[in-house]
Amino acid sequence: MALDYLSLLNPSQAAAVMQIDGPCMIIAGAGSGKTRVLTYRIANLLEQGVDPFNILALTFTNKAAKEMRARIEKVVGGAAAKNLWMGTFHSIFARILRSEADKIGFPRSFTIYDTQDSKTLVGQILKELELDDKLYKPGMVLGRISAAKNKLISVQQYLNDPVIRQDDEAALRPKIGVIYQQYAARCFKAGAMDFDDLLYQTNVLFKDHPDVLNKYQNLFRFVMVDEYQDTNYSQYLIARKLAAKERNICVVGDDAQSIYAFRGADIQNILNFEKDYPELQVFKLEQNYRSTKTIVKAANSVIKNNQAQLRKDVFSDNEEGPLIEVLKAASDNEEGKLVANSIFEDKMSHHLSYDDFAILYRTNAQSRAMEESLRKLNIRYKIVGGLSFYQRKEIKDLVAYLRLTVNPNDEQALRRVINYPKRGIGDTTIAKLITAAEESNHTIWEVVANADQFLPTRTANPIVDFAEKIKAYTVVAAKEDAFEAAKFIAKNSGMIEELYADKSIEGLSRYENIQELLNGVKAYTEDPEREDKTLGAFLQDIALVTDADTKDAQQEGEAVTMMTIHSAKGLEFRNVYIVGMEENLFPSQMMITSRADLEEERRLFYVAITRAEKKLTLSYATSRYQWGNLRSCEKSRFLDEIDPQFVDFKFAATPSAGPGESPFGHVFERRSNLLPTPPRKTVAKGYTPPADFQPSDTSNLQTGQRVEHPKFGFGHVTKLETVSGSTKAIIQFEEVGEKTLLLSFAKLRVLG
C-alpha cells in the first residue's frame, strides 16, 4: 500500500511523509502539494500501526479538515479516518471542553456565543455602566478583549498591568478593563463561552489541572498542525503543551504566506520553532505544481526582500508561461474598464470560462469600480468573503438617507436611519410613531415632521431634530448635484464621524466603503454623457444596479470571482488580476511605518501572485478619488521589486476605453522588451516645485503651451474649453497623465 502513494510523491514529499518520530517542520511553498503530504503522512502513521485515536491533526478551516479526511479515507479506509482527532483548533478544543468544562466551573453544556451575541452583551454592559457607546463601541471593545484572550491575558492581569492601563487611558477608554471584567463574569454566570474562550479556557484547563493535560498528552501521541505560520500565542501554547511528553509534533506551513497578524497570528511561532525543538528535522517542499515558471520566479524576486524568513528556493517544472502584464490606467474607473475588457478578450481569444478568472484587491471598497465595469460588459461575477458593494450595511445606511432625502415618504428608509447614528429614538418611540400614523391616517413621515403634535415634548424633541435634518437635506439636494448633496448628507448625518471613530479592522473597512460610494457618486456627476446629475437620477441608477445584483445572485453559471487577497489564501485560478497596485493602497498606508508591517504586506502580495496558474495581470491607477477629490497616485513599490525580465508593461493611451473595446490595439501601446526604453523624467510623489515658482496669468493660455503645476509637474495644454463662463484646461502631464483643471483655481506657470 505504501508504494502506491509514495510513487506519487517527489523525493522531498516522500521524505516528509516517511518521517514519523520526533519533531519535524515541513516548509511548504505555494502550490507544493502540502495537502497531499499531510494526507499521506497521516496514512503512513496509520499503516505503521498508530491508533487513529492517538493522532491529533489541527487545521485552520473545516473545509481543509473535511478534504483531508476524505483523501485519507480513500487511502486507508473510512473507519480509521473517522476515528482521527481532526478539525480546527476551535472545534477540537470545544469537544475537549465539553468533557472537562466542569473542572473550571463551566457546565459541560455551555453555550457558545457568536460575535453578535458578544456584541449585544457588551452593549448591555455599556448601558449599565453608563458609558458612551460612541466612545466605547461594542465592536472595538470586543476586539480589545479578544486580543487580550489570544495573548492569554486574564481579567486580573489586564486590570493590574500598568502598560495596558496607560494604553487605554491614552485612547480615552480607561474603562475597558472594567468592561472585560463584567463581560467575563456575565459569560461565566450564563454558562457561556465566546469563540476566543474555546482556546483561552483550554489553556486555563491545562494550566490549572495538570492531570487533565497529562491525560491528553498520553492520548495525542502524534500532533500535526497545518498552516502553522497563522497560529497565535494561545494556539502555539496548546500545541506545545500537548506535544511536550512524546515530542512527536509535526508543523506544516510557509512563513512567506503568514498574512494574519491583524488577527493575532505570530510569524515568530514558525520562525523560532527550532528553538523549542533543537532536534528538529526540516523538510522543504520547494517544487510549485500550480504556476508557470514566470509566475514562480517573479514571486521569488519579491519575497526575497523580506529579512524575517526561512530561506527556500521555490521552483516550477511547468511551462515558462507569458510575462506578467502590468496595466497602467489614468483613474480607478478606467482601471475597472481595462480589467473587464482584458477578461472579455482573454475569454474569447482562448475559449475560457469566466470561472477561470479572479480579481483580487487589498480592500473590499475597491470592488465598486470593478463591479460596474464587469456589469457593463454583461460579465457575471461573484463576490467571495463579502457582500456585493451596494448590499453592505454602511452603504445601505447612507443610501437610505439619500432615498429619504429624495422621497421622505419612503418608510423603509426612514425606519432604517431614524435612530442611526443613535439619537435617542428607541423601538418604543418608533412603535408610537407607527401607531400614530395608522390612527391619524398619515404617513410615518408626516407624523415625524409634526412629532410635537403627536407625542410628548421630551419624546418628540429628537424626532423633530431628525425631521429638520431631512428637510435641510432636501433643500441641498434641490440646489446641488448628486455628489455635493451626498457629501453634505454623509457628513451632516453623523455617519462619517461615527465610522471614523471605530478604529477596528471592520470599522476602517466600513469607513473606506463610504468613501468609495462617494467616489462613485462623483464619477457619476462627472460623466459628460449624463444629462441628469441629480440625486434622484443617481439613486435610480444604482437601484437598477442592485436589482441586477439580486438576479445575478439567483442565477447559476460561470462567473468571475472577486475577493480580497486575504480571502484568496489557499485558492488558485487560471488567470488572476491584482488591482490597485498603488502606494498607500497596497502596501496599505497603515502598514508602512515599520519593517514588520511592511514585510506582512509583502507576504500578502506574494500570496496574491501565487494564486495564479497560467496568467497574472497587475494594474494600478495614476489617480483615484478620495472623498470626492481626485488625488494623484504613485505605483506600488512592490511593482519595482519584481524582476523586470518577468514583466510586460502596458500603458493606456486613451483616457478611457468604452464598453466592449479591446484593451489591446489602439488602446495600448506595448513597451518592447527588445528595444531600449527612452529615459523618462521622474516627478516624485507630491511634486515639489522650485523655490522661485510663481503662477502665471493664464487668461491668454493657448493650446500647445508647456506649463508647470505645483503638484502634477510638467505638461502640455492639449485643449481649452469654456463652460458657463469658466475655462477648463485639459493638460497632458508627463508623469500623472491627463488632468482637467479649472483655470480660475489652477496654479500654473506658463513655460512657453
- Rounded to the nearest 5 percent, the helix, strand and coil shares of the chain are 50, 15, 35
Distance CA(735)–CA(752), nearest Å, equals 19
Mean pLDDT of 710-732: 80
Tell me what pLDDT residue 1 has: 42
Rg of the chain over CA atoms, in angstroms? 29
Residue 22 φ/ψ region, left for φ over 0, alpha for ψ in the -120 to 50 degree band, beta for the rest: left
CB 622 within 8 Å of CB 633? yes
- Phi/psi for 417 (5° steps) reads -115, 0
Which residues, other chains included, contact 85 with Cβ-Cβ below 8 Å and sequence gap of 6+? 53, 55, 56, 57, 92, 220
User: How far is residue 703's CA from residue 361's CA, in Å, rounded to a whole number?
Assistant: 39
Give pLDDT, residue 339. Answer: 96
From 100, 197, 227, 255, the catalytic residue:
227
> Of residues 13, 34, 481, 601, which has the active-site annotation?
34
pLDDT tens digits, residue range 81-107? Answer: 888 898 888 888 888 988 898 999 987
Structure confidence at residue 675 (pLDDT):
30
pLDDT (0 to 100) of residue 555: 44
Measure the CA–CA gap between 419 and 423, rounded to whole angstroms.
6
DSSP 8-state secondary structure symbol assigned to residue 362: S
Provide the b/e sequence for 584-609 (b: ≥16 CB within 10 Å): bbbbbeebeeeeebbbbbbbbbbbbb
Q: How confident is the model at residue 436 (pLDDT cuts 50, 70, 90)?
A: confident
Q: How many of the other CB atoms lie within 10 Å of CB of 432?
A: 19
Query: Does residue 593 carry a pLDDT above 80?
Result: yes
- At 318 the pLDDT is 94
Between these two residues, 729 and 322, which has the higher pLDDT value? 322
Average pLDDT over residues 574-578: 97
pLDDT band at 723 (very low <50, low <70, confident <90, very high): low
Tell how strand 85-88 and strand 111-113 pair up. Answer: unpaired
DSSP label at residue 292: -
Contact 269, 228 (CB under 8 A): yes
Q: Which listed residue (403, 611, 614, 624) is catalytic?
A: 611
How far apart are the C-alpha atoms of 370 and 382, rounded to whole Å? 11
Q: Give the chain's mean pLDDT.
A: 85
Is 309 known to be catalytic? no
| CA dist., res. 231 & res. 740, Å (int) | 50
Please pick, among 35, 61, 115, 740, the residue that the annotation labels catalytic.
35
Whether pLDDT at 326 is above 90:
yes
Q: Give yes or no: 226 in active site.
A: yes
Of 13, 39, 201, 257, which one is the catalytic site residue? 257
Active-site option among 197, 226, 254, 502: 226
- How high is the pLDDT of residue 94? 84
Q: How far from 55 is each of 43, 104, 227, CA to CA, in Å? A: 11, 26, 17
pTM of the model: 0.70
pLDDT confidence bin for 616, thresholds 50/70/90:
very high
Query: What distance in Å separates the CA atoms of residue 656 and residue 526, rounded to the nearest whole number?
Result: 14
Half-sphere exposure of 285 (CA within 13 A, CB side): 28
Q: Residue 686 has what pLDDT?
A: 55
Q: What is the pLDDT of residue 355?
A: 94
- pLDDT at position 390 over 50: yes
* Known catalytic residue at 257: yes
pLDDT at 683: 38
In the residue annotation, 35 being an active-site residue is answered as yes
The dihedral over CA atoms of 83, 86, 87, 88, expressed in degrees to the nearest 10, equals 140
pLDDT digits (tens, 9 = 90+) for 649-673: 876 433 333 333 333 333 333 332 3
